[in-house]
Amino acid sequence: MTPIVQMRQLIKLLQQHNHAYYALDTPLISDAEYDDLFHRLKSLESDYPDLIQHDSPTRRVGGEVLAQFDSVVHDVPMLSLGNIFNESELQDFDRRVRERLPGQEIRYELELKLDGLAVSLRYEEGVLVQAVTRGDGESGENITQNARTIRNLPLLLEGRSDQTDAANSESSTEATKKFSEVPELLEVRGEVLMPRSGFERLNREAEARGEKTFVNPRNAAAGSLRQLDPQLTAARPLAFYAYAVAQSRPQPTIQSQYESLEWLGRLGFELAEQRTVVDSVEAIQQHYLAIQAIRATLPYDIDGMVIKINSLRQQQQLGFMSREPRWAVAYKFPAQAALTQLEGVDWQVGRTGTLTPVARLVPVFVGGVTVSNVTLHNIGEIRRLDIRLGDTVSVFRAGDVIPKIEKVWPEFRPANAASLSLPTVCPVCQSPVVMPEGEAMARCSGGLFCPAQRIEAIRHFVARKALDIEGLGDKWVEALQGLGLLNTVADIFHLAEHRDQLIGLEKLGEKSVQNLLAAIENSKSTTLTRLIFGLGIRGVGETTARLLAEHFQTLEAVQAATLDQLVKVPEVGQITAEWIYDFFQAPHNIEVLEKLKAAGVHWPLPAARAHQPLTGESWVLTGTLAQFSREQAGMMLQSLGARVSGSVSAKTKAVVAGEKAGSKLDKAQSLGIRILSEAEFIDLMESHGVVIADFLDGFSE
């Protein structure tokens, strides 16, 4: 693809997204993705300056003016800021400033970069006469009537003085005069935004009315400000924050950016938090990191920090480039989204055989980390995205959120891009891959035979709630499997035959080996419930394992059960029944079970399920209990014959609600289900003869 073709492609894309962002208030991509496209174009133009197109977005600001509002030419152009993204680019900005101001002391004023809509306000004799959007930088939309509805935006300026603050640098008389005078003409630049609390309330109300909700606060603010009916704008929780003086007549005797904001504050304008003045790159970086750390706690959205030369005289000396000032720059937070390419897809196999596609990407820095692998979840997600090898994709990551592919860019798709399909056999053991109708997840049918499933299966088998083999932790499971000593769970009971080899393992001395082998020997005497749970059958947790053991009484009966027989077990639905049935039909699994019995693993017959006070009742536990854990409370309920479920339904008999109970409690209340406090639960247990101390097992808060 030639440079000129690449330029035209990028220009077309940027123009489309400019229109969506500025004119329609419905952005199709994130700011970070837009920045990526913009910088790609700038890079091309830097390499091929003779090919720069006359309609390049790098030569102008923003988007077009809407026809539904009057167009107003800005007396002073509303230019955009350049962006920097890391400390190296910050140092470059500082170096350029100092090269243009040799020998001068440089101080920087730092502000939050608010994520809203830039607006210019014009005051004559202290009265608001005009509000105009940025538009294309040269002219914008007249939104005066809507701006008047913003509650914190002053309609009339009334000078205020603060002699205590002002006296820090000059006499109180001069300070009072400087800060209290309202100029004949004042043009103030600032940001209209929607605070998070207002945004959440607006969306809740819209959802309750069955109306469409807004994507984010910035989108909500822009849409609100462009309502044709000012009454609709008035109903929206908008706010205005001033960040600059564009012009004033007469010119106030103010020397710095920080001082000009103080002046605006005294005239009645709202100012954003966290403003400060520093004199070094190190101090800028330190403040940037501090702001990033508290970003989520602020009452409004920000996407970075603005760095300005504090001296107004030095700002004039530095001047402007074609579309941005040389004396200011936006230091943006690590991109929450970035563009990269898909190099390939690997299929990983989990403990239960689930096949998960993992995208291999050209490494990209996003959300503060370098991302090279991203899960695609399942074949359905691949089809939904229509993702193909070689595609350019948008990767999103915010904070601690797991990276994900949000968008595929077919505009950049190579001609030979290959489609992705589900493997027919397991990439590890070559067993057939199955995907039952109506399910989203494909699985390896190899069961306990599949090496990829073995290590996870063994970890699950030795866990406390299964065979409870103390000392056989994850690192030893991995090490022993690496030596070929653990290929199935049955091999655990033959480790005594390799005692000398075990003692030779790093950090596993003779005493440790002795303790491990003793724990293994003790675990041979177990219960049918623990064994069934330990097998790791999909959909079979502790409760289902216990119900299966109580219902069928023997392992042989569970193995021989038909689907019709399985669905008669409480808590076992049709899908879970199919998973249980398929597990016990797999030859590899039958072989492992025979080896377990041959190794001496045994269990007594479960006691027949006698009728108890709560037999057949489904109970739910939610929230934090003070005197015992939810697990222990569940054991108490089970001792009385109840089933403990993880979700509330119409069949739920009662809910025990501790502190900070959430959605389960809400649902129970809406369904009119009986709700017990912890104290009421204790009274109930004791009334049925339950000795609570027998279930505590060292519980502490």
CATH of the domain at 30: 1.10.287.610
Compare 90 and 626 and report the one with higher pLDDT. 90
Instruction: Tell me which of 283, 315, 332 is where a domain ends.
Output: 332
Residues 276, 134 share a domain = yes
In this predicted structure, what is the pLDDT of residue 701?
39
In this predicted structure, what is the pLDDT of residue 699?
41
Query: What tokens does 270 get?
Result: 């709202």
Residue of 145, 300, 114 lying closest to 233 (CA atoms): 145
Alpha carbons 23 and 521: distance in angstroms, whole number? 73
Question: What is the per-residue DSSP string for 425-443?
Answer: B-TTT-PBEE--TT-S--E
In this predicted structure, what is the pLDDT of residue 399?
59
Alpha carbons 128 and 123: distance in angstroms, whole number? 4
Residues 191, 296 share a domain = yes
Three-state DSSP string of 374-418: EECCCHHHHHHHCCECCCEEEEECCCCCCCEEEEEEHHHCCCCCC
Q: What percent of the chain clears pLDDT 90, i.e. is strictly above it?
A: 45
CATH of the domain at 375: 2.40.50.140
**Highest mean pLDDT: which range of 216-230, 660-674, 683-697:** 660-674
Residue 420 in any domain: the answer is no
For the chain, how many structural domains are there in total? 5
Residues 370, 237 share a domain = no
The parent domain of residue 567 ranges over: 446-609
- CA distances (Å), origin 482, targets 485, 487, 508, 595: 8, 9, 15, 21
Number of CB atoms found within 10 A of residue 2's CB: 9
Determine the average pLDDT of the residues in 341-352: 89
Poorest-confidence range of 189-203, 432-446, 563-577?
432-446
Assess whether pLDDT exceeds 50 at residue 168: no
Determine the average pLDDT of the residues in 481-490: 84
Query: Token pair 């800005």 is at which residue?
Result: 74
Classify 339 as helix, strand or coil. strand
Alpha carbons 581 and 592: distance in angstroms, whole number? 16
Determine the average pLDDT of the residues in 288-311: 93
Residue 431 in any domain: the answer is no
Residue 362 in any domain: the answer is yes
In this predicted structure, what is the pLDDT of residue 166?
39
CATH of the domain at 200: 3.30.470.30
Contact yes or no for 303/334 (Cβ under 8 A): no
Alpha carbons 305 and 679: distance in angstroms, whole number? 51
Q: How many CA atoms lie within 13 A of 19 on its CB side?
A: 5
Residue 300 in any domain: the answer is yes
Confidence of residue 645 (pLDDT cuts 50, 70, 90): confident
Q: What percent of the chain clears pLDDT 70, i.e. is strictly above it?
A: 92
Give the end-to-end CA distance of the chain in Å, rounded to a whole number: 64
Determine the average pLDDT of the residues in 141-153: 90
In this predicted structure, what is the pLDDT of residue 66?
54
Contact yes or no for 83/35 (Cβ under 8 A): yes
Alpha carbons 40 and 390: distance in angstroms, whole number? 18
Residues 519, 462 share a domain = yes
Assess whether pLDDT exceeds 90 at residue 660: no
In this predicted structure, what is the pLDDT of residue 68?
75
Question: What is the per-residue DSSP string for 596-639?
Answer: HHHTT-B-PPPPP----TTTT-EEEEESB-SSS-HHHHHHHHHH
Alpha carbons 340 and 217: distance in angstroms, whole number? 27
Alpha carbons 17 and 40: distance in angstroms, whole number? 15
Which residues in 609-629 are b (16+ Cβ under 10 Å) and which e?
Answer: beeeebeebbbbbbbebeebb
φ/ψ of 5, rounded to 5, equals -65, -40
In this predicted structure, what is the pLDDT of residue 366?
83
Residues 212, 112 share a domain = yes
Assess whether pLDDT exceeds 50 at residue 177: no
Residues 222, 140 share a domain = yes
In this predicted structure, what is the pLDDT of residue 450?
79
Residues 365, 328 share a domain = no
Alpha helices for 167-216 (secondary structure H): 172-180, 196-208
Longest dimension (CA), the chain: 98
Residue of 425, 435, 394, 430 lying closest to 411 (CA atoms): 394
Classify 188 as helix, strand or coil. strand
Query: What tokens does 76 get?
Result: 């002073």
Residues 368, 454 share a domain = no
Alpha carbons 13 and 8: distance in angstroms, whole number? 9
Residues 310, 250 share a domain = yes
Alpha helices for 196-280 (secondary structure H): 196-208, 217-225, 230-234, 257-267
CATH of the domain at 677: 3.40.50.10190
Residues paired with 525 in a beta bridge: 602
Instruction: Tell me which of 609, 639, 668 is where a domain ends.
Output: 609
Instruction: Tell me which of 590, 609, 628 is where a domain ends.
Output: 609
Query: What tokens does 521 get?
Result: 């020997």
What sign does the CA torsion over 537, 541, 544, 548 have? positive
Residues 273, 165 share a domain = yes
Gyration radius of the chain's alpha carbons: 34
Residues 398, 453 share a domain = no
Query: What tokens does 191 get?
Result: 């940001």
**92 DSSP 8-state letter:** H
Condensed to tens digits (0 to 9), the pLDDT of residues 122-137 reads: 999 999 999 999 988 8
Number of CB atoms found within 10 A of residue 674's CB: 12
Classify 680 as helix, strand or coil. helix
In this predicted structure, what is the pLDDT of residue 607?
64
φ/ψ of 355, rounded to 5, equals -90, 120
**Highest mean pLDDT: which range of 66-80, 278-292, 487-501:** 278-292
Residues 594, 522 share a domain = yes
Residue 421 in any domain: the answer is no
Assess whether pLDDT exceeds 60 at residue 284: yes
In this predicted structure, what is the pLDDT of residue 172?
39
Determine the average pLDDT of the residues in 658-673: 89
Assess whether pLDDT exceeds 80 at residue 142: yes
Condensed to tens digits (0 to 9), the pLDDT of residues 553-602 reads: 899 999 999 999 998 887 788 888 988 998 899 888 899 899 999 999 99
- CA distances (Å), origin 410, targets 148, 335, 413, 612: 44, 22, 5, 63
Q: Which residues are tagged catalytic?
A: 113
Contact yes or no for 596/602 (Cβ under 8 A): no
Single-letter residue type at 301: D
Confidence of residue 482 (pLDDT cuts 50, 70, 90): confident
Query: Token pair 């100092």 is at which residue?
Result: 98
User: Torsion-angle region of residue 355: left (phi > 0), alpha (psi -120 to 50) or beta?
Assistant: beta
Query: Where is 118: in which H helix or E strand?
Result: strand 117-124
Condensed to tens digits (0 to 9), the pLDDT of residues 13-49 reads: 988 887 676 555 577 888 778 888 988 999 999 999 8
In this predicted structure, what is the pLDDT of residue 597?
93
In this predicted structure, what is the pLDDT of residue 454?
78
In this predicted structure, what is the pLDDT of residue 219?
83
Query: Token pair 């639960």 is at which residue?
Result: 681
Residues paired with 405 in a beta bridge: 395
